[in-house]
Amino acid sequence: MSISLSTGAIIAAPINDPATLSRAGARVLAIPVSTLRLAGFCQRFLSSALLSLLIQASLWASSLLGLGWSTSMQIRRAINIIAYRSARLSKQATWEIWDSARMRQLRKKIEFEFFTLILGAGGNNLCLVIFWPGWGILGLAAFMLSAGVRDE
């Protein structure tokens, strides 16, 4: 690569004293150095502030998490107590209704309707045949007879 010079240009040594150039360069470099020092200070300050904020946020988050867990356990305990008492009250109310005189009359009527209408006119006889207590005695006698036949 060749550098072309304009006509009449002379290549010569610089006219400025190198000492004056270094002082001027030092002045030029002094501004960026102080700026860099200030930037470094600001960066350290911001990093320490950010670290402090992160630690505080972490502490707040963990304390809020603990409070939330504690509150949820108290709510769970309260709901368990309410559910237990509601179930107990419901059972008690159901038993009171079931055992009332009016309900006993209704159950008696329903039982009568079942035996007369559903089973028909011969329903009573069918119930007597099925639930006759003599079946147990006859079954026991048959068992004894069958056991006696095997022994011989």
Contact at 8 Å (CB) between 102 and 95? Answer: no
pTM of the model: 0.42
Blockwise average pLDDT, block size 10, the chain, 152 residues: 58 58 57 81 92 95 96 98 97 94 92 76 72 86 81 52
Instruction: Classify residue 2 as left (phi > 0), alpha (psi -120 to 50) or beta.
Output: beta
Task: Report how far apart the first and last C-alpha atoms of the chain are (Å, whole number).
Answer: 134
Structure tokens at 80: 């368990």
Contact of 86 with 79, CB cutoff 8 Å: no
pLDDT at 65: 96
pLDDT confidence of residue 39: 87
